[in-house]
Amino acid sequence: MLFMTRSADDMVERLRQVEAEISDLRCEQAVLINELDKINVAGRDGHRSINEWLSAELDVSRASATELVFAGRHLPKNRPINFRLAEGRITFDRAVGLLRLADAGADPSTMEHAESLDLATLGRVTAQQRRVTRRDEREVAAERFVSVQPNLDGSAWRLSGLLGAVDGRIVEAALSERADRMRMLPDGDLATRGQRQADALASIARDSLDGGSDAAGSPGGRVTVLVDLDEANGTGGEEGCRVRYGPRVGPTVLEELLCTGAVQIVGLSGGRPVVTSDAARIIPPAVRSFVAHRDGGCTIAGCTSRYRLGPHHIVPRCEGGTHDPENLTTLCWFHHHVAIHEMGMRIDAGSPPLRRRLTRAPIGPDPP
């Protein structure tokens, strides 16, 4: 019942008191840690560092341990901050924040300015104060990496990495420059920045493999996909299509591969290659040239992109669509790869041949 009768002001007041007590206790811990650090208690107990030792000894996070060790080492060296903390005029967290700013080499006017900052801003000001040393740079250089990992069944990939300041900036600039060239969808849907950057990265990588963005969707690119036709025909379970080796693709991706022919597909039956995409699956060069000449650019109404123009099958190959010029229309990379084959939109068959509209197709069933 005691708690029920407390007013909000009382509780806030008590909260402040507790924080002051915690600051007091932290201060005491910092002094103890500094003494223990001097006699190398970590080494005695077989730990590599005092931070590691403290984290294990107190069962606190590495971040808490690092903060306490930092305070232990720096409080004795900074009497004004030490004094104010001991007097209870600043919290332990603010004392550590100010110590870090002083340690980063802030001048007296910056230190004074910092008094009025909240702790988050104080942290940012400190980070900006800090000079990047050769040692920092070497550490980043040594830790640089990019990892491109498929998930367990190979149906998606995860990227992560760490780059140096300049390389990171270059990659970021290249991605946003390419992402900016990706057009908005005709219906006004705008992909998120993350989605556009993902498309940008894939398109830069494709340019690199094909030798430049001018290269027409070159048949038989350097990626080969092996498709088990027995399973694709529905005799091997309900998964529809399993790729034996190489990337595992679903019906949507397979549809795009069949449409562009940019990736060599080897069909397997009974484990033996029975068909490759180079023959029947590729649009004959004469038809390709004719369609390009006929359309003169991306046929989506309002689109002026000239990036990676290529023919698309209006009725998909897997639904019996042919290489007949009537079934082909020229699209830019964005409308072809992203709008149609990634987002699942379709060409509105009723739209005029040179002012094509896209429709949002309901997600169809997987092919049998």
Give the residues lining the site for Zn ion (CB under 5 A): 259, 298, 300, 303, 305, 312, 332, 335
Q: How far is the CB of 184 from Zn ion (least distance, A)?
A: 11
Question: Which residue number, 51 or 329, has a Cβ lying nearer to Zn ion?
Answer: 329
Question: Which residue number, 74 or 281, has a Cβ lying nearer to Zn ion?
Answer: 281
SS3 356: strand
Q: How far is the CB of 352 from Zn ion (least distance, A)?
A: 15
Question: Which residue number, 182 or 268, has a Cβ lying nearer to Zn ion?
Answer: 182
Question: Which residue number, 125 or 259, has a Cβ lying nearer to Zn ion?
Answer: 259
Which residue is it, tokens 């103890």? 32
Question: Which residue number, 80 or 352, has a Cβ lying nearer to Zn ion?
Answer: 352
How far, in whole angstroms, is CA 192 from its chain's centroid?
12
For 204-230, letters b (16+ CB in 10 Å) and e give eebeeebeebeeebebebeeebbbbbb
Task: Round to whole Å and give the CA distance between 308 and 215.
Answer: 7
Task: Round to whole Å and give the CA distance between 53 and 60.
Answer: 10
Q: How far is the CB of 111 from Zn ion (least distance, A)?
A: 57
Question: Which residue number, 60 or 315, has a Cβ lying nearer to Zn ion?
Answer: 315
Q: CA-CA distances (angstroms) from residue 346 to 147, 260, 263, 287, 367?
A: 34, 15, 21, 22, 17
DSSP tag of 263: S
Instruction: Please name the amino acid found at residue 82.
Output: N
Contact at 8 Å (CB) between 100 and 124?
no
Task: Round to whole Å and give the CA distance between 362 and 101.
Answer: 57
Q: How far is the CB of 316 from Zn ion (least distance, A)?
A: 7
Greatest CA span in the chain, whole angstroms? 89
Instruction: Please name the amino acid found at residue 124.
Output: R
Question: Which residue number, 129 or 305, has a Cβ lying nearer to Zn ion?
Answer: 305
Q: How far is the CB of 274 from Zn ion (least distance, A)?
A: 24
Q: How far is the CB of 309 from Zn ion (least distance, A)?
A: 8
- The helix or strand, by DSSP H or E, that contains position 158, with its residue range, turns out to be strand 157-162
Question: Which residue number, 23 or 203, has a Cβ lying nearer to Zn ion?
Answer: 203
Both structure tokens of 223: 């990626």
Task: Round to whole Å and give the CA distance between 224 and 5.
Answer: 74
Strands of the 272-276 sheet, one edge to the other:
224-228, 264-269, 272-276
DSSP tag of 246: S
Q: How far is the CB of 206 from Zn ion (least distance, A)?
A: 15
Question: Which residue number, 53 or 333, has a Cβ lying nearer to Zn ion?
Answer: 333
SS3 261: coil
Task: Round to whole Å and give the CA distance between 181 and 52.
Answer: 49
Q: How does DSSP assign 203-233, residue by residue?
A: HHHHHHHHTSTTS---SS-S-EEEEEHHHHT
Q: Strand 224-228 relative to strand 264-269: parallel, antiparallel, unpaired?
A: parallel
Q: How far is the CB of 341 from Zn ion (least distance, A)?
A: 6
Question: Which residue number, 68 or 340, has a Cβ lying nearer to Zn ion?
Answer: 340
Q: How far is the CB of 296 from Zn ion (least distance, A)?
A: 12
Q: How far is the CB of 191 from Zn ion (least distance, A)?
A: 14
